[in-house]
Amino acid sequence: MAAGPGLLWRAREYVDRSARQSPARLALGVFALVIAIITALLSAPWATAHGGRAPFVDALFTATSATTVTGLVVVPTGEYWSWWGLLVILVAIKIGGLGVMTLASLLGMAVSRRIGLTQRLLVSSETKVTRLGEVGSLVRTVIVTSTALEVAIAIVLFPRLLVHGEPVGTAAWHATFYAISAFNNAGFVPTPRGLDPFVSDWWMLLPIIVGVFIGSLGFPVILDVAHHLRAPRRWKLHSKLTIATSVGLVVFGSVVVAAFEWTNPGTFRPLDPGGTALASLFAGVMPRSGGFSTVDVGEMHEGTWLLLDALMFVGGGSASTAGGIKVTTLAVMLLAIVAEGRGDRDVEAFGRRIPRETLQLAIAVGFISATIVLVASLLLLAMTGLTLDRILFEVISAFATCGLSTGITAELPAPAKYVLVVLMFIGRTGTMTLAAALALRNRRRVIRYPEERPIIG
């Protein structure tokens, strides 16, 4: 009878030791375990609308896409999955959006009324909080802010869905699903046509835009802004860089998409000026990792695809529900370029000097991420007969956990789907682990080699 408690004690000791030695590695294991559980649930006959078992690759792909809050699908979400299957997907989105370690800490708080050192280490590795004392307040902010925003979005969407003729129960369910999917930047839709019927509907789309944008900022930014709402000057440098860069990318993306698609008969041309403005704003925000679309992405010009590739690759804020290399990574590299052009010795922003180690980390994350995209693109080109523009779009969308697609996902062969599964997993957890691992490898050397500059350019 003592074997059970003993085994449980040993398992807890192992988890505690792993959390202290390598929190990021433990986070990867927990994420993989959650995906395995969701895959098993989606493989059950009751999870599909037709009552049969979903193929393993489709269940795994959907589970990974939901848990990593990506939004790529190989089957029509609203038609293929039953109500129970959609509920499983929604739970996976919520877990993936909150972060597995954050959710574990919330459960621990509910039981013991406190967060232990292990949980603080785990949440710190996932949310980028450097001071363990801040973890408790961050966890509370995560659950309160995410739930409050999701409820607010659902309340706004509910009457609009009623106006469009949905029954009360269906409207409430769809409003809740869209709200959670939007804030967590998941991009899943519970209806067969998705948001296409609302392409010019400000009431329906604006709350989703706001939810996606706030969710993509990151919980540390939300916490900082909430604490100093009336004093923006007291915001941390990370918050200022994240907000400024995010707003700039949204404006740039919206304007350029509008310019490219204004006369495209397959996308914006049938819309009136107000509808075009809304569709452009929507298209400018969704590459933050939102993944929703109101027009057929497959009908867009190749130039628009290339622009969306770049925006998806950047993604959203650190420790957010968004993917990509993160906007602060881009901001730091751009600031370094500006400093080099001016001949400045230091990289500066908002009255602060950015450490050289941060720039080195940004370059490493950017280069390794680009290498992953390159390798995956080569693999998919070898596995399929599709063109590079479509393959590149799909690969970046998976790696950046965005979910936008030109429509080729369902047509891919099984090996290519497995490649995208790995990409989504790496995109959600790999860059976090990479950044944490590199940041901790700060060696102090007593002896330094003489300095000599190679020729650059």
Tell me how far the alpha carbon of residue 168 is from its chain's centroid. 31
Q: What is the pLDDT of residue 28?
A: 74
- Mean pLDDT score across all residues of the chain: 84
| Among 92-101, 116-125, 338-347, 431-440, the range of highest mean pLDDT | 338-347
If you average pLDDT over residues 404-418, what whole number do you get?
94
On the question of pLDDT at 122 being above 50, the answer is: no
- Specify if 258 maps to a domain: yes
If you average pLDDT over residues 39-57, what whole number do you get?
94
Other beta carbons within 10 angstroms of residue 313's beta carbon come to 21
Report residue 135's pLDDT band, with 50, 70 and 90 as the boundaries. Answer: low
- Specify if 452 maps to a domain: no
- Specify if 30 maps to a domain: yes
On the question of pLDDT at 67 being above 50, the answer is: yes
Range of the domain at 22: 12-440
The total number of structural domains that make up the chain: 1
On the question of pLDDT at 431 being above 80, the answer is: no
Between residues 222 and 90, which one has the greater pLDDT?
A: 90
- Specify if 344 maps to a domain: yes
- Specify if 305 maps to a domain: yes
Q: What is the pLDDT of residue 226?
A: 82
User: Of all residues in the chain, what percent carry a pLDDT higher than 90?
Assistant: 60
- Specify if 2 maps to a domain: no
If you average pLDDT over residues 396-420, what whole number do you get?
95
Q: What is the pTM (predicted TM-score) of this model? A: 0.87
- Specify if 254 maps to a domain: yes
Q: What is the pLDDT of residue 301?
A: 94
If you average pLDDT over residues 36-48, what whole number do you get?
96
